[in-house]
């Protein structure tokens, strides 16, 4: 057996920094559980010093995850490192990941430090982190625009101070594959002690080469790939976990490399991130896009029907896309319903199953056939537990192209109280949202709205995604599903409000 590459997932840290991709505590915990089910080696759970909420989420994840290393990011700063350790100290396996910029432009304009001061800071803070944690990763931010000999010097200092992993990130997505590979080879040949540490890559996708650069790094001696589910992340995103993993898996003949990922959990992880963040993937997205295993051209269809290998280099089942062997409908029983949920990768407690089954029966009265995507939409990425602050009781909409739209909305507040308000505006959905604002007593701003069909057919459920701003600068994502597009839109708005008050 050849080398085994470690997969370091930073969906909860770098991925969440993507605009509109923020998650609340319960969502982060569900994502961490799914990453553990994927058998990710390291979960970067957040940046503890960023906020008390981030620190609390990292600590909660550290207390739940048993099989993956839980990592917290910190700058080369003692206060940052203290916060990072405090958040992960109860993890079964803990890592502190500390970084400082090493490129001339960053040192001069951001850090306002000399090269000698950067080397001293790297050495001191790796040593400081080492007193807390035996597993310390050091990153040279913007290393791909750094002088190579200076980079060797910084890395030697970090190794001597006790770093166990060195990260060579392409912070601005500047590299091309052969250039990055050459940089890794140079560092391996000119850095004292580098053979005793794990080398890591963290690639951004500004030029669309994050995955290619990661794989080029692996061929040049990289031992760990840092990536995110669906490639989410700042600007153009990060290297896509599913693409990196399936490239290694499918092309073992070229790479001769293994990784520990359970590829059958990939689709579930991708769908979870899409649902939580409200950020979908393109139909042509490799591995997890809707068209990834679709064959429309007649010659392709003929080939696939004769032998799948004619046009499929991997199977849908290998990444966890389920075969819908059982058709669910209004006469389906609880046993079939629970079996299908398990096949889709859901592990729900008894209360959540009871709630989901009730919703399923209501939906089955409206739809003849319940598809897997319907079930996923029914449950959501994070099963609702506990009491929601607001719930839709009923609504009445009066709308047309010659009148001003009006909406009468009644919401339940807790178990007993209800509140009803009316509002008018240019369209029915905006009128409904204004009526809800009156009930909540907040001037909530709608910043983004999307609506799509979950499945094909005229009885498809609609999925509405909203991004709302309640506190200045803070976006909350809400999601609603219904066979009625207006009801889905109202539920999405209420869902976002409930998530805000739950955080």
| Number of neighbours of residue 280 by Cβ within 10 angstroms | 17
Q: From CA 70, how far away is CA 283, in angstroms rounded? A: 32
Are the CB atoms for 152 and 191 separated by under 8 Å? yes
Which tops the pLDDT comparison, 503 or 189?
189
Overall domain count for the chain = 3
H or E element: which one contains 298? helix 298-306
Token pair 């003692």 is at which residue?
78
- How large a percentage of the chain has pLDDT more than 70? 94
Between the CA atoms of 120, 161, 99 and 62, what dihedral angle is there, to the nearest 10 degrees?
-150
- Do 399 and 373 reside in the same domain of the chain? no
pLDDT of residue 293: 85
DSSP designation for 43: E
Tens digit of pLDDT for each residue in 408-448?
Answer: 999 999 877 999 999 999 999 999 999 999 999 999 999 99
Q: Is residue 69 part of a domain?
A: yes
Whether pLDDT at 301 is above 90? no
Whether pLDDT at 103 is above 90? yes
Name 413's bridge partners.
Answer: 390, 417
Can you give the residue range of the structural domain that contains 477? 390-502
- Do 112 and 132 reside in the same domain of the chain? yes
CATH code of 448's domain: 3.30.160.270
DSSP designation for 90: T
Q: Is residue 384 part of a domain?
A: no
- Do 190 and 48 reside in the same domain of the chain? yes
pLDDT band at 84 (very low <50, low <70, confident <90, very high): very high
pLDDT of residue 120: 98
Whether pLDDT at 58 is above 80? yes
Q: Is residue 307 part of a domain?
A: yes
Are the CB atoms for 163 and 226 separated by under 8 Å? no
Q: From CA 176, how far away is CA 278, in angstroms rounded? A: 31
Q: What is the mean pLDDT of residues 291-296?
A: 70
SS3 at position 401:
coil
Q: Is residue 452 part of a domain?
A: yes
Whether pLDDT at 145 is above 50? yes
- Do 253 and 371 reside in the same domain of the chain? no
pLDDT band at 305 (very low <50, low <70, confident <90, very high): very low
Q: What is the mean pLDDT of residues 187-204?
A: 98
Tell me the average pLDDT of the chain: 91
pLDDT band at 300 (very low <50, low <70, confident <90, very high): very low
- Do 303 and 273 reside in the same domain of the chain? no
Q: Which of 51-60, 91-100, 225-234, 292-301 has the lowest mean pLDDT?
A: 292-301
Q: In the chain, helix, strand, coil percent, each to 5? A: 45, 20, 35
pLDDT band at 303 (very low <50, low <70, confident <90, very high): very low
- How large a percentage of the chain has pLDDT more than 90? 74
Question: Given 379, 398, 419, which residue is the final one in a domain?
Answer: 379
Q: What is the mean pLDDT of residues 236-260?
A: 96
Name 138's bridge partners.
Answer: 98, 166
pLDDT of residue 297: 39
Q: From CA 114, how far away is CA 108, in angstroms rounded? A: 7
Q: Is residue 484 part of a domain?
A: yes
Instruction: Flag whether the pTM goes above 0.85.
Output: yes
Are the CB atoms for 422 and 408 separated by under 8 Å? yes
Q: What is the mean pLDDT of residues 70-77?
A: 98
- Do 313 and 268 reside in the same domain of the chain? no
Q: Is residue 291 part of a domain?
A: no
Whether pLDDT at 309 is above 80? no
Pick the closest to residue 4 from 264, 224, 239 (CA basis): 224
Q: Is residue 288 part of a domain?
A: no
Half-sphere exposure (CA, 13 Å, Cβ side) for 374? Answer: 27
Q: From CA 314, how far away is CA 292, in angstroms rounded? A: 10
> Which alpha helices (H) appear in 65-103, and where do they start and end?
78-88
- Do 32 and 60 reside in the same domain of the chain? yes
Over the Cα atoms of the chain, what is R_g?
25
pLDDT band at 382 (very low <50, low <70, confident <90, very high): low
Q: Is residue 293 part of a domain?
A: no
Q: What is the mean pLDDT of residues 279-287?
A: 94
Six-digit token string for 89:
């100290």
- Do 104 and 178 reside in the same domain of the chain? yes
- Do 421 and 316 reside in the same domain of the chain? no
- Do 96 and 226 reside in the same domain of the chain? yes
Q: Which of 201-205, 236-240, 300-304, 431-435 has the lowest mean pLDDT?
A: 300-304
Which tops the pLDDT comparison, 88 or 309?
88
Pick the closest to residue 357 from 415, 346, 485, 502 (CA basis): 346
Token pair 């046993």 is at which residue?
335
How far CA 81 is from CA of 57, 128, 129, in Å, comes to 16, 8, 6
DSSP designation for 421: E
pLDDT of residue 295: 43
- Do 236 and 375 reside in the same domain of the chain? no
Six-digit token string for 356:
């989901």
- Do 328 and 451 reside in the same domain of the chain? no
| Number of neighbours of residue 202 by Cβ within 10 angstroms | 28
Whether pLDDT at 327 is above 80? no
Q: From CA 50, how far away is CA 31, in angstroms rounded? A: 20
Q: From CA 417, how far away is CA 408, in angstroms rounded? A: 17
Are the CB atoms for 69 and 78 separated by under 8 Å? no
Largest CA distance in the chain: 77
Looking only at the bridges linking them, the beta strands covering 69-75 and 94-101 are parallel
CATH code of 127's domain: 3.20.20.70
Whether pLDDT at 187 is above 60? yes
């Amino acid at each position: 057996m050849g080398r085994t590459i470690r997969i370091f997932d930073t969906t909860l840290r770098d991925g969440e920094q993507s605009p509109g991709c923020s998650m609340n505590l319960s969502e982060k915990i569900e994502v961490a559980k799914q990453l553990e089910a994927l058998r990710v080696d390291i979960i970067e759970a957040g940046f503890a010093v960023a906020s008390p909420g981030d620190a609390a989420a990292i600590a909660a994840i550290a207390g739940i995850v048993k099989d993956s290393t839980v990592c917290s990011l910190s700058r080369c700063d003692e206060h940052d490192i203290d916060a990072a350790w405090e958040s992960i100290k109860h993890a079964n396996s803990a890592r502190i990941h500390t970084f400082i910029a090493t490129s001339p432009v960053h040192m001069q304009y951001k850090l306002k430090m000399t090269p000698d001061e950067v080397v001293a800071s790297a050495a001191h803070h790796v040593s400081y982190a080492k007193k807390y944690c035996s597993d310390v990763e050091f990153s040279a931010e913007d290393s791909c625009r750094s002088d190579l000999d200076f980079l060797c010097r910084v890395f030697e200092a970090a190794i001597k101070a006790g770093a166990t992993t060195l990260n060579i990130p392409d912070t601005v997505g500047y590299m091309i594959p052969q250039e990055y590979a050459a940089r890794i080879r140079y560092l391996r040949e000119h850095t004292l002690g580098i053979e005793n540490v794990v080398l890591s890559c963290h690639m951004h996708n500004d030029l669309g080469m994050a995955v290619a650069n990661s794989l080029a790094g692996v061929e040049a001696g990289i031992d760990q790939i840092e990536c995110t589910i669906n490639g989410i992340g700042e600007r153009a995103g990060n290297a896509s976990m599913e693409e990196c993993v399936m490239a290694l898996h499918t092309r073992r003949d070229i790479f001769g490399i293994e990784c520990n990922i359970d590829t059958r959990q990939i689709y579930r992880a991708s769908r979870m991130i899409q649902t939580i963040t409200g950020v979908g993937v393109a139909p042509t997205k490799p591995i997890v896009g809707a068209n990834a295993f679709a064959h429309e051209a007649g010659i392709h269809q003929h080939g696939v029907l004769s032998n799948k290998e004619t046009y499929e280099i991997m199977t849908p089942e290998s990444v966890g896309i389920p075969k819908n062997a059982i058709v669910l409908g209004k006469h389906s029983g609880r046993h079939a319903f629970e079996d299908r949920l398990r096949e889709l990768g859901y592990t729900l407690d008894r209360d959540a199953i009871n709630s989901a089954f009730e919703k399923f029966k209501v939906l089955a009265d409206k739809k003849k056939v319940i598809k897997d995507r319907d079930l996923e939409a029914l449950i959501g990425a994070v099963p609702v537990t506990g009491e929601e602050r607001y719930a839709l009781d009923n609504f009445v909409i009066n709308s047309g192209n010659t009148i001003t739209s009006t909406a009468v909305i009644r919401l339940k507040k807790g178990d007993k109280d209800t509140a009803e308000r009316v509002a008018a505006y240019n369209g029915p959905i905006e009128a409904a949202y204004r009526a809800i604002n009156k009930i909540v007593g907040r001037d909530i701003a709608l910043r983004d709205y999307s609506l799509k069909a979950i499945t094909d057919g005229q009885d498809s459920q609609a999925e509405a995604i909203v991004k709302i701003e309640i506190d200045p600068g803070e976006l909350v994502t809400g999601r609603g599903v219904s066979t009625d597009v207006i009801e889905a839109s109202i539920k999405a708005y209420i869902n976002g409000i409930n998530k805000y008050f739950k955080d």
